[in-house]
């Protein structure tokens, strides 16, 4: 009987499921959306029950499309939005709306953590405290909703709450656990010294399991509801970016990941030696046992281009809008764009930074501004990458690229020239859901099935740095200078 695999990605605005089989074939997908609520400035919350409803709708659609999976063995892997805090009581009921990763209420808690345990966090958790991480959210709950904290049986992360609801098992894994900044990165366990100092009982933390280990089966009553008669097993999978890397990078020694969606990410696996330049990037556990990764984020990447298009050419197609940039030249005739529309994450970690178009003159045209924005996004991600401790002599020779940028050959070539590295684009780009599916495949521990999936996602397009690419160095240094000037002025 054919084995089937589901990759489930629980994002910030929707849940996506992809279906594959043991022959390495991607068969179909479905999705269901949900909303964010904000009761006051800086607050960003969701009802975890909405995630369950979205899963139910998406899975039902997949079953309707592929009824043959009803009787077959299913293995399900998950990926999910990081850092978001879910609180459950001893009956497994949700105590309050989940506080999302992009919630900004914890500025005071971040300041407090820097004073109390800042050095400890950098040494053991390998990260500085930020509003997005889970620990400051827990501190906020302890101070502002102490009765709810007292009632809390377990805190959870979104994908782990979904697994708990479907199996009854309360676990997490290291890639998501690392994003709480409460995990000892090197020793792969909850940091009990930190928990004790901050009055967080260890038994409120979910037990840590391997990302690709089968941790349970779907509850019988749920299987009956869906009409599933075969075994339905779960692996925990991993955090969204960890799963994105697992889906995309095939050679950890020489490849990195560039993702350009609303935000932008640069990610590279790292050796076991003590990381350098900590605090300029994120350093997390991956879904691969005993492997870590460095990651930096530009908050407004593709969003910057989308934002400007809505202002300048709301009715023009995105393809035509970006094509105008080809009429400009490298360096955009002296215009620099700083993509800090939401402040900035890596490498500056400053919410007060602002987006800027610098160097505008009367002779500039639309194509110069559009190109400047495209260059500025790529420059920002290169700056992120270099602050991760990499340079032109880096071991990373190839970047696998994902996101909307992959549909634009001109912009993809620009990235190859700016990074002075080969850019590869894979045959299909299913993002974290594909990484979650691969975690499910790995859970089978069948080398033949794993190999079939490795061979499936071949390199479709390759971009090589051109001789002209060296000309980006001057505008890139100008970008760095303007960014540092703005940071200093704050």
Assess whether 256 and 395 both reside in one domain.
Answer: yes
103, 184, 191, 240: which is the annotated catalytic residue?
Answer: 240
Residue at which a domain ends, from 236, 259, 277: 236
pLDDT at 389: 83
pTM to 2 decimal places: 0.91
Q: Is residue 469 part of a domain?
A: yes
Give pLDDT, residue 455: 77
Q: Is residue 171 included in any domain, yes or no?
A: yes
Determine the Cα angle at 152 with ends 147 and 158, to 5°.
125
Residue 244 lies in a domain: no
Q: How far is it, in rounded angstroms, from Cα 469 to Cα 146?
A: 56
Kindly list the distances between the CA atom of residue 230 and the CA atoms of 3, 17, 55, 74, 175, in Å, as whole numbers in the listed order: 10, 19, 19, 7, 29
Final residue of a structural domain among 179, 212, 236: 236
The end-to-end CA distance of the chain, in Å, is: 63
Q: Give how many domains the chain has, as a whole number.
A: 2
pLDDT at 451: 80
Q: How far is CA 329 from CA 288, 334, 355, in A?
A: 42, 10, 22
Residues whose CB is less than 8 angstroms from the CB of residue 440 and which lie 6 or more positions away in sequence, other chains included: 5, 6, 7, 75, 76, 77, 235, 237
What whole-number distance in Å separates Cα of residue 115 and Cα of residue 304?
A: 34
What pLDDT, on the 0 to 100 scale, is given for residue 272?
Answer: 61
Q: What is the pLDDT of residue 273?
A: 65
* Residue 377 near residue 355 (C-beta atoms within 8 A): no
Residue 44: CATH number of its domain:
3.30.420.40
The H-or-E segment that residue 138 falls in is: helix 134-144
Q: Three-state SS for 352?
A: coil
Containing structural domain, residue 400 = 249-426+458-490
For residue 327, what are its two tokens? 């009429």
Chunk the chain into consecutive blocks of 10 residues (it has 490) and report each block's average pLDDT, rounded to whole numbers: 94 94 93 91 94 97 96 97 96 97 93 97 96 96 98 98 98 97 96 98 98 96 96 97 93 93 91 77 94 93 92 91 95 97 89 93 96 97 91 80 93 97 92 94 85 84 96 97 88
Based on the residue annotation, tell me whether 417 is a catalytic residue of this protein. no
CA–CA gap between residue 372 and residue 379 (Å, rounded): 10
Indicate whether 318 and 366 sit together in one domain: yes
């Amino acid at each position: 009987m054919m084995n089937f695999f589901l990759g489930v990605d629980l994002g910030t605005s929707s849940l996506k499921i992809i279906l594959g089989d043991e022959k390495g074939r991607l068969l179909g997908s479905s999705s269901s959306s949900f909303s964010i609520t904000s009761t006051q400035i800086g607050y960003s919350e969701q009802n975890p029950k909405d995630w369950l409803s979205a899963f139910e709708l998406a899975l039902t659609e997949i079953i309707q499309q592929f009824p043959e999976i009803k009787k077959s063995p299913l293995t399900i892997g998950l990926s999910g939005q990081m850092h978001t805090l879910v609180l459950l009581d001893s009956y497994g009921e949700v105590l309050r709306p989940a506080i999302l990763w992009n919630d900004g209420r914890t500025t005071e808690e971040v300041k407090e953590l820097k004073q109390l345990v800042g050095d400890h966090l950098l040494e053991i958790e390998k990260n500085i405290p930020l509003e997005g991480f889970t620990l400051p959210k827990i501190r906020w709950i302890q101070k502002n909703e102490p009765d709810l904290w007292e009632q809390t049986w377990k805190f959870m992360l979104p994908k782990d709450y979904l697994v708990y609801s479907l199996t009854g098992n309360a676990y997490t894994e290291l890639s998501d656990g690392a994003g709480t900044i409460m995990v000892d990165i090197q020793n792969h366990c909850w940091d009990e010294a930190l928990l004790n100092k901050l009055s967080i009982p260890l038994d409120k933390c979910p037990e840590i399991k391997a990302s690709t280990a089968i941790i349970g089966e779907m509850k019988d009553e749920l299987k009956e509801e869906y009409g599933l008669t075969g075994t339905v097993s779960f692996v925990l999978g991993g955090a969204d970016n960890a799963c994105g890397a697992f889906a995309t990078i095939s050679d950890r020694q020489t490849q990195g990941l560039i993702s350009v969606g609303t935000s932008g990410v640069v990610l590279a696996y790292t050796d076991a030696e003590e990381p350098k330049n900590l605090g300029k990037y994120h350093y997390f556990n991956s879904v691969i046992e005993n492997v870590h990764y460095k990651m930096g984020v530009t908050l407004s990447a593709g969003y910057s281009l989308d934002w400007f298009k809505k202002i300048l050419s709301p009715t023009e197609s995105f393809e035509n809008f970006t094509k105008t940039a080809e009429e400009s030249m490298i360096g955009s005739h002296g215009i620099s764009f700083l993509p800090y529309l939401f402040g900035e994450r890596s490498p500056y970690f400053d919410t007060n930074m602002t987006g800027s178009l610098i160097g505008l003159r009367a002779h500039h045209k639309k194509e110069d501004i559009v190109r400047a924005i495209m260059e500025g996004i790529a420059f920002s991600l290169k700056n992120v990458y270099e602050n991760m401790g990499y340079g032109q002599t880096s071991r990373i020779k190839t970047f696998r690229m994902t996101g909307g940028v992959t549909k634009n050959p001109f912009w993809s070539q620009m990235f190859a020239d700016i990074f002075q590295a080969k850019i590869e684009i894979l045959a299909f780009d299913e993002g974290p859901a594909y990484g979650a599916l691969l975690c499910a495949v790995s859970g089978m521990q069948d080398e033949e099935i794993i190999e079939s999936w490795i061979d499936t996602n071949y390199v479709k397009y390759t971009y090589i740095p051109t001789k002209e690419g060296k000309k980006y160095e001057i505008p890139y240094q100008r970008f760095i200078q303007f960014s540092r000037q703005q940071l200093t002025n704050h």
